A and B are shown apart, each in its own frame.
Chain A
Amino acid sequence: MVNIIDRRRNPKGKSLANRQRFLRRAKRQVLDAVNEASGRRKVTDVAGGEQITIPADGLHEPSFRKAAGRGVREHVVPGNKEYVVGDTIPRPDGQGGSGGREGSPDGEGEDEFTFAVSRDEFLDLFFEGLELPDLVKRQVKKAEQYTQQRAGYSVSGSPSNLNVERTMRNSLSRRIALRRPKGEDLQALDEEIDRLERAGTEPERLRELIELRRNKQERSRAIPYIDPVDIRYNRFDHVPQPVSQAVMFCLMDVSGSMTEDMKDLAKRFFMLLYLFLERRYRHVDIVFIRHTHVAQEVDEDTFFYSRETGGTLVSPALAMMRDIIEDRYPVSDWNIYGAQASDGDNTPADNPATTRLMADGILPLCQYFAYIEVGGGQAFHVPSDLWRAYDRLARSESPLAMRRVQTRGDIFPVFRELFTPAELKG
């Protein structure tokens, strides 16, 4: 009478489709929240973000309900200790737990809505629609990956690649050409012989038929149904896969004029850039250069976490970038990108050298060069030396883009702006 069914093996995540619909709907709000979250977090765990709070409007499900704080209500509540008829109770403010508390009829009352997104969902939302501009130079490198491509048929191969259709076609044509007796003919012959044997009227014909049958059976044995010559395998060729190779140079000013705040902003920007590249492009080299009055190529750990400091010279960093390009990243093979973050301070004497390096050495080689100027949060922006110098370069048809970042909240929008493809910008 009773049925017990184990449903534990049934697919989980039945509400996955609902969740996707929800996320799509919430995207606008989630993006804002992600942005906010990225500003609030420490640099180190921007990527680990999992808890997002979004305002409930837009996801609100309205219904006709009675307004709180109007009209006359009779509340019945348990746990009377001291009240007698006629006692008055001061009106509890808001949701205060005592006396005449009015829960909404369905028990729902929400202001903000918190939910968990997985790390992957978080990053996907974070970088949705962004890409490196002008990723055009495609070059096949030696040790690159190959893909398999169908390339006709072969007579040898592994059983898993057996092409049954082709094999059977060959077998059929061979059987027709060699006139292998068909199964149904043999069977008809058998029946005929059977009939004649039973009737026993035409011994002559019977003998003939038996002879015929023997011939046919022999022929059938001699000509196999499927012969090794019929067999065909799918053939695959290894085709080298052209990939776009790209290198991103991250140039960060860590000189003494950069306050902790500015460094934090710059690091956040590069952290985003790093995550973005790691997540979106498998064939992107990243070169980290940090500079004071000298430039240093460092690994990512040092880049993000070391606290060294010193004076300010921009040109050595640019020179180093140029040298590295010459050394390791031939312009013909590589898409080259640069991102530089600085407070804009430069030793005045260095400005001409910097401009020259940029204009002649760097920009002609680059697909895109983003300059981020971090500010300490001043209300008015006084154009810095470097900004003025770069601004002249940016005016002409050059791949240079410049943005200012004042607060943490600016980073994500600026980042999105820099890496949103032109056709989506509208």
Chain B
Amino acid sequence: MAPNAAVQQQPLFTGLDWDYRDVMRVYDAIERIAHEELELDVYPNQIEVISSEQMLDAYASMGMPLFYRHWSFGKHFARDEMLYRKGYTGLAYEIVINSKPCISYIMEENTLTMQTLVLAHAAFGHNHFFKNNRLFREWTDAEGILDYLDFAKGYIAECEERYGVRAVEQVLDAAHALMSQGVHRYPKPQTRSLREERDREIERVRYEEQTYNDLWRTVPTDPDGELPGGADPVEQRMQRLGLPEENLLYFLEKRAPRLEHWQREVLRIVRHVAQYFYPQKQTKVMNEGCATAVHYYIMNRLHENGQLTDGAFLEFLHSHTSVVFQPEFDDPRYSGINPYALGFAILQDLRRMATDPTDEDRRWFPEVAGSGDWLGVWQHAWREYRDESFILQFLGPQVIRDFRLFRVHDDADEPELVVDAIHDDAGYRAVRRSLAQRHDVARLEPDIQVVDVDLAGDRTLVLEHRVSDGVTLDPGEATAVLRHLANLWGYDVKLYEVDPETERVINEFPQVSPVAPVA
């Protein structure tokens, strides 16, 4: 694995322009390093050359090569196009899709250096992450996604033809509003088959017979007390409806009384799409960190081998630096933590610790510091972590110092913000914990669950928002979403916000009735 610096090779290219043979040659060189030195394990690659207009098209449909039709994508397209034409934003150099084969879009305008960077970044960095990270392995089906989207597009087009564009649009609008509440966050236990159910029952009876003790019969029981889990109607109802349920789209698809079959199928499509993208939301820092670290390593190696000219390497460094640039909080360009910068910095720091540790590193990361096996640490992190756990586990004092991170306590009831931890020994852990929490999607998104349905009465659907840190819902937005929800449910919908510590109701939204029920 030790690179042999003595072997100098011919540069892969010298000019800016490129054709397929150049890209192939570059790809082969990158692949060799990726496989032999970084031991990356990737899906087969498919590289597609597109123009800037097609890139804008791809932006508009969540980066997917095909997608069902909806006005909101047209809106995003209009916005992106305007920003691009006016020069406010550039376009991404690439888009990569978690599919098998892994599709990378590269722009025709890129120079060959940029294409090299893009291939290393997307076709190997992201690709490896998609194939190996636990979240993607568990929650997404890379092989099936394109076929599924093809089905979804066709199905929704067919529905539009049969039931009218307006009707479909209404369902999609409502479903999109609930999209972030349309994912399963935890794997569901498999429902038991009838046979298993019977076996368990037999087992239970046998156990009772074996442990039968006549004495229990003599223990006096509370005359009013009922057997637990027995006749309590609320409990029974909850169990029958599978409540509480946090996946609102799933609940509506299965339980909404007035939806037609095709409407359930549309909800299902939106839910599947949301679930497909859910791991990407949770691994922004890691995914980009992985891809950036991979391209950085590969480009450096190509340069060391002499396969990349000095000029090309400088061009690469220029783009790389702007990609991992982190503006400071008082900089007008600041818009939050740059996931590329943070992910890349943590990974580079791990590599430094493994090969050249300080005493501090030995204290903080005894199992990494000085082990020499930085690649093993990287591979392990890429496989097993998501942003929140990754930061919590691997963000070291060195990176906190480099970023000069500090924590600001913001209590809306206080007139001023308080700095309560900075980059010093007393503050590292607090900063790290808070930063990890800021990357925990389950914490960032409100925790909303269906808790009850008044089946015997007017079928009102009851939702509960378990408020964390006293941050309640945006009332305007919430009312608009509830309206959509009521239209899908077909009956009234009620939402209240609860403080999970005291179980006290903080806020109750007015009951919303369906105005234009979709059914």
A interface residue numbers (CB < 8 A to B):
1-8, 10, 12-15, 17-26, 59-81, 83-91, 97-103, 105, 107, 113-116
Contact = CB atoms under 8 A, between A and B. Distances in A.
Given A72-B409, A72-B412, A78-B337, A22 B74 contact: yes
B418 interface: yes
Scoring A60, A62, A83 by chain B CB atoms within 10 A of each residue's CB, the highest score goes to A62
Given A22-B73, A78-B326, 14 more contacts: A2-B45, A7-B105, A8-B49, A14-B57, A18-B74, A21-B74, A61-B176, A64-B181, A67-B475, A74-B408, A76-B438, A80-B422, A86-B420, A100-B417
A178 B45 CA distance: 67
A306 to B, nearest CB: 37
A78 B20 contact: no
Q: Interface of chain B, helix or strand or loop or mixed? A: mixed
Contact of A97 (B44, B330, B477): B330
Residue from the set A1, A25, A76, A97 with the largest chain B CB neighbour count within 10 Å: A76
5 contacts: A10-B54, A12-B51, A18-B60, A21-B165, A114-B82
B406 interface: yes
Given A14-B54, A114-B82, A19 B427 contact: no
A164 to B, nearest CB: 34
B328 interface: yes
Contacts of B408: 74-77, 89, 99-100
Describe A's contact surface by its main secondary structure: loop
Given A8-B51, A15-B61, A79 B418 contact: no
Contacts of B223: none
A15 B77 contact: yes
B84 to A, nearest CB: 11
Contacts of B82: 114-116
Interface string B472-495: 111111101100100000000000
A85 B330 contact: no
A373 B176 CA distance: 49
B516 to A, nearest CB: 14
Nearest to B423: A80
B78 A22 contact: yes
Given A18-B73, A80-B422, A67 B49 contact: no
B122 interface: no
Contacts of B419: 83-89
B57 A15 contact: yes
A412 B146 CA distance: 48
Interface of B: 20, 23-24, 27, 31, 44-51, 53-54, 56-57, 60-61, 69-75, 77-79, 81-82, 85, 101, 105, 108, 123, 165, 169, 173, 176-181, 326-332, 334-337, 403-412, 415-423, 426-427, 431, 434-435, 437-438, 444-446, 448, 465, 467, 469-478, 480-481, 484
A422 to B, nearest CB: 27
A115 B47 contact: no
A184 B335 CA distance: 83
B422 A84 contact: yes
Contact of A77 (B54, B173, B406, B437): B406
Contact of B329 (A59, A62, A68, A78): A78
Given A8-B50, A12-B53, A85-B426, A76 B176 contact: no
B307 to A, nearest CB: 17
Contacts of A64: 178, 180-181, 445-446, 448, 465, 473, 477-478, 481
B328 A78 contact: yes
A113 B23 CA distance: 40
Given A4-B47, A15-B73, A21-B169, A74 B434 contact: yes
A259 to B, nearest CB: 37
A417 to B, nearest CB: 28
A237 to B, nearest CB: 39
Contacts of A80: 404-406, 422-423
Most buried by A among B44, B60, B78, B446: B78
- Which of B56, B327, B336, B421 counts the most chain A CB atoms within 10 A? B336
B470 A71 contact: yes
A251 to B, nearest CB: 41
Nearest to A76: B435
B134 to A, nearest CB: 23
Contacts of A68: 474
A130 B435 CA distance: 59
A102 B335 CA distance: 9
A71 B79 contact: no
Given A77-B405, A97-B330, A71 B48 contact: no
Contact of A6 (B49, B81, B418): B49
B330 A71 contact: no
Contacts of B476: 62
A115 B81 CA distance: 8
Contact of A23 (B51, B70, B74, B415): B74
A324 B416 CA distance: 79
Nearest to A2: B45
Q: Which residue, A5, A61, A98, has most C-beta atoms of chain B within 10 A?
A: A61
